């Protein structure tokens, strides 16, 4: 599939410098691009490759100065990185839109309601009373349990499992191997040392524009709903426990875990391998550093914490500096002890 510079400029609202008829059929990094490929330049560290790249078309910032002799057609935009991401997104949409119809073998319950222009891949299982919206793509080996609902323009990648009664919004992307709606970790200790399972009768609700990476797990609520709010982005290998609420536009990096009933606010950034205990609240705009262990609520918006247990970021950095100085401090203390001992001896 080929696109001309004029078509690309129209898609991203850019201004052309060079031949508008020049076309590309694939993408590449600016340092590796060849003729017929499109690249972008957003980081000044890669500016030198403007003079050596073979890319036919390059997306660059409006502010970028040209210091090299180049043959590529340029498309200037306010933000090259954002425009390139938008272009990739549109390209991906065009590719997935070509998928439609129901492949066999697959099972679709007679009571399921399937929207228009839906793709259902082979070996998918669609349970009773499932609702799938228009233009949604359900890739092979996906499971949708009874009464599950999926909105419009959503992409469910291979091997995803969405348990009964769970709700997925529109324009959501769920990557392969993720499980939505497995039982929350609820057990009541008994007098004899055993544990009685607490039935998990709630569900998971995922709002619009959410993206969830591969092999993530989001547990259903004991009662009510585990909530992933609009625009949240979850990386691979994340554990979200029962009755957790993840706020709008919150981003959680890989291998993080959130314990039950914790409420995470809007626009929170959580680094990889962070752990958050249950039944606490994280204020809007908080930043939790990678591998931090959060054991108490973060009450003030836009706070930054690090460490385990996590505490205020700048104080943690000062503590690290003090820790590195401990050997020198120990030496000084021993010298002072000797001095005091000598002074006391002189008095006697």
Mean pLDDT, to the nearest integer, of 307-314? 78
What are the tens digits of pLDDT across the range 43-83? 989 999 998 999 999 999 999 988 888 899 999 999 999 99
Confidence of residue 311 (pLDDT cuts 50, 70, 90): low
What are the tens digits of pLDDT across the range 79-106? 999 999 999 888 877 777 778 899 999 9
Count the residues in the chain. 348
Give pLDDT, residue 348.
64
Taking domain 3-97, whether its CATH number is 3.40.1390.10 is answered by: yes
Give pLDDT, residue 265.
98
In the chain, where the domains are located: 3-97, 102-315, 316-347
Share of the chain above pLDDT 90, in %: 81
Q: What is the pTM assigned to this prediction?
A: 0.81
Q: Which of 157, 164, 175, 242 is catalytic?
A: 242
- 156 or 70, greater pLDDT: 156
Mean pLDDT, to the nearest integer, of 155-166? 98
Give pLDDT, residue 341.
87
Mean pLDDT, to the nearest integer, of 207-235? 98
Tokens 């401990």 belong to 326
Mean pLDDT, to the nearest integer, of 135-156? 97
Mean pLDDT, to the nearest integer, of 192-219? 97
What are the tens digits of pLDDT across the range 331-342? 888 888 888 888
Residue 242 known to be catalytic: yes
Q: Which fold has domain 102-315?
A: UDP N-Acetylglucosamine Acyltransferase; domain 1 (2.160.10)
Give pLDDT, residue 220.
98
């Amino acid at each position: 599939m080929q696109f001309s510079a004029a078509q690309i400029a129209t898609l991203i609202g850019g201004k052309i410098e060079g031949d508008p008829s020049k076309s590309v059929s694939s993408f590449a990094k600016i340092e590796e691009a060849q003729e017929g490929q499109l690249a972008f330049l957003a980081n000044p560290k890669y500016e030198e490759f403007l003079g050596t790249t073979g890319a036919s078309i390059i997306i660059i910032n409006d502010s970028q100065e040209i210091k090299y002799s180049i043959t590529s057609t340029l498309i200037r935009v306010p933000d090259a990185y954002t425009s390139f991401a938008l272009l990739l997104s549109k390209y991906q949409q065009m590719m997935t839109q070509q998928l439609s119809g129901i492949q066999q073998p697959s099972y679709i319950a007679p009571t399921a309601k399937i929207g228009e222009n839906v793709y259902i891949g082979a070996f998918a299982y669609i349970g009773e009373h499932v609702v799938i919206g228009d233009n949604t793509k359900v890739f092979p080996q996906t499971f949708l349990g009874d009464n599950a609902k999926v909105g419009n323009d959503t992409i469910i990648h291979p091997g995803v499992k969405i348990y009964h009664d769970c709700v997925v919004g529109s324009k959501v992307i769920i990557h392969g191997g993720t499980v939505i709606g497995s039982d929350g970790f609820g057990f009541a200790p008994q007098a004899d040392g055993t544990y009685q399972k607490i039935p998990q009768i709630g569900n998971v609700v995922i709002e619009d524009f959410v993206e969830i990476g591969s092999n993530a797990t989001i547990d259903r609520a004991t009662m009510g709903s585990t909530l992933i709010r609009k625009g949240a982005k979850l990386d691979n290998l994340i554990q979200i426990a029962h009755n957790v609420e993840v706020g709008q536009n919150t981003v959680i990096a890989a291998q993080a875990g959130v314990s039950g009933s914790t409420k995470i606010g809007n626009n929170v950034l959580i680094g990889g391998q962070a752990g958050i205990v249950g039944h606490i609240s994280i204020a809007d705009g908080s930043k939790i550093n990678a591998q931090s262990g959060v054991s108490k609520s973060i009450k003030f918006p836009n706070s930054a914490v690090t460490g385990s247990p996590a505490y205020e970021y700048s104080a943690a950095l000062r503590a690290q500096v003090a820790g590195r100085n401990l050997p020198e401090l120990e030496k000084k203390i021993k010298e002072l002890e000797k001095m005091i001992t000598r002074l006391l001896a002189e008095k006697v």
